[in-house]
């Protein structure tokens, strides 16, 4: 089912970068960014709710790459000056049309076999048309996401429309699609019932990217089960009994609007061995900017996890840095 492979030269670049990041077997958090023959899964955080989840030896047919809500452009489309004084990029409004920072994307993404999209807001879907064309990946999302892809002429053969509840086996990866809910923004007044209509055509404006419903995914890959979240909410009965060994948990402050968010989620998931906060950065400033992280949000969430699930190992992701998991145990190296 996989469509593309990175070129030999780009693979070499990645391998070189990987060795450059090697840091041995020390038990500190940086050690998980080291490299080992026993590594079976690598995660990389793109910011917002975006992740790369990969498994298998680089340069072989076994290497499989799943992207989730990959948004690397990190545009300031707020219409207001950047929160970061060092950010000299243009300011956009939601009336502007979609665009992707292809230099940033090309420097980071060599291969994608599957792209999972949790909802169709710009910080989740905006880079997916470009990535779909560039990688040939299969795109899995609800109808709004898929209609955005069609607007940008992504071939139907690459598109799989889901509504939540599906559990699809692709051979090297299987994906359970989980119905979910969007973050309760604006003091719980957030609500979007619209969809991106079938038949819309490029170019789309950023404000045409409506939620269209929210999903989560359980990704089974490389002997691991990774639960993904695109928002700060969930439907308890839909996640009850899942047993991911790695949970990517929405951690921005809107989760505080939800009753017992962290304890209920940890309990429903059986207290995952590894918990990684997601969607808790400032995705409107570039990588490397002084304000790119929201450390205070992550620290507060980490404190909740320590109480709700003391046996879980919490990993704080850094943009674009590999987090390597050893075989089966989900012990970060």
SS3 322: strand
Query: Which two tokens mark 7?
Result: 């070129």
Please identify, using beta-carbon distances, which residue of 2 and 121 lies nearer to Zn ion. 121
Please identify, using beta-carbon distances, which residue of 33 and 121 lies nearer to Zn ion. 121
| Least spacing, CB of residue 77 vs Zn ion, in Å | 13
| Least spacing, CB of residue 54 vs Zn ion, in Å | 25
Please identify, using beta-carbon distances, which residue of 54 and 214 lies nearer to Zn ion. 214
Give the DSSP H or E segment for 144.
helix 143-151
Please identify, using beta-carbon distances, which residue of 6 and 117 lies nearer to Zn ion. 117
Residues that bind Zn ion (CB under 5 A): 121
| Least spacing, CB of residue 121 vs Zn ion, in Å | 3
| Least spacing, CB of residue 243 vs Zn ion, in Å | 27
Q: Which residues contact 186 (CB under 8 A, 6 or more apart)?
A: none
| Least spacing, CB of residue 185 vs Zn ion, in Å | 8
Please identify, using beta-carbon distances, which residue of 170 and 217 lies nearer to Zn ion. 217
| Least spacing, CB of residue 332 vs Zn ion, in Å | 28
The residue number with the shortest CB distance to Zn ion is 121
Cα first-last separation, the chain: 30
Q: What are phi and psi of 253, to 5 degrees?
A: -60, -20
For 169-208, the DSSP string reads: E-SSEEEEEEEE----HHHHT------PPTT--SSPBGGG
Q: State the chain's maximal CA–CA distance in angstroms.
A: 54
Please identify, using beta-carbon distances, which residue of 121 and 150 lies nearer to Zn ion. 121
| Least spacing, CB of residue 48 vs Zn ion, in Å | 9
Please identify, using beta-carbon distances, which residue of 111 and 231 lies nearer to Zn ion. 231
Please identify, using beta-carbon distances, which residue of 41 and 98 lies nearer to Zn ion. 98
State CA 67 to chain mean position distance.
6
Q: Is 249 exposed, middle or buried (0-12, 13-18, 19+ CB in 10 A)?
A: buried
Cα-based distances in Å from 166 to 51, 160, 175, 177: 21, 11, 8, 5
Q: Which residue has the tokens 């948990």?
A: 249
Q: Which residue has the tokens 């699809």?
A: 168
For 73-138, the DSSP string reads: ---B-SSS--S-TT--SPB--TTSBP---HHHHHHH-S--SEEE-S--SHHHHTTHHHHHHHH-PE
| Least spacing, CB of residue 215 vs Zn ion, in Å | 12
């Amino acid at each position: 089912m996989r469509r593309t492979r990175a070129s030999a030269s780009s693979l070499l670049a990645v391998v070189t970068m990987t060795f450059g990041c090697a840091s041995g077997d020390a038990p500190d958090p940086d050690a998980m960014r080291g490299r080992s023959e026993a590594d079976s899964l690598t995660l990389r955080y793109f910011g917002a709710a975006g992740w790369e989840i990969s498994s298998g030896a680089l340069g072989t047919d076994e290497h499989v790459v799943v992207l989730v809500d990959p948004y690397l452009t990190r545009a300031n489309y707020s219409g207001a000056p950047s929160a970061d004084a060092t950010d000299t990029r243009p300011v956009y409004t939601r009336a502007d049309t979609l665009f992707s920072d292809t230099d940033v994307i090309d420097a980071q993404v060599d291969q994608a076999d599957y792209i999972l999209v949790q909802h169709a807001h710009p910080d989740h879907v905006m880079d997916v048309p470009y990535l779909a064309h560039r990688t040939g990946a299969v795109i899995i999302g609800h109808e709004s996401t898929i209609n955005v892809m069609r607007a940008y002429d992504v071939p139907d053969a690459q598109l799989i429309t889901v509504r939540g509840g599906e559990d699809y086996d692709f051979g090297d990866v299987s994906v359970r699609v989980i119905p979910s809910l969007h973050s309760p923004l604006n003091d719980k007044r957030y609500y979007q019932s619209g969809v991106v209509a079938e038949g819309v055509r490029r170019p789309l404006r950023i404000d045409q990217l409506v939620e269209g419903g929210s999903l989560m995914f359980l990704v089974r890959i490389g002997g691991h089960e990774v639960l993904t979240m695109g928002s700060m909410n969930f439907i308890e009965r839909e996640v009850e009994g899942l047993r991911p060994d790695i949970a990517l948990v929405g951690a921005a402050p809107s989760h505080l609007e939800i009753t017992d968010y962290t304890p209920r989620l940890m309990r429903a998931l059986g207290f995952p061995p590894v918990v990684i906060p997601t969607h808790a950065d400032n995705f409107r400033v570039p990588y490397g900017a002084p304000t790119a992280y929201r450390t205070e949000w992550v620290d507060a969430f980490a404190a909740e996890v320590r109480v709700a699930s003391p046996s879980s190992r919490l990993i704080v992701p850094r943009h674009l840095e590999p987090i390597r998991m050893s075989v089966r145990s989900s012990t970060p190296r």
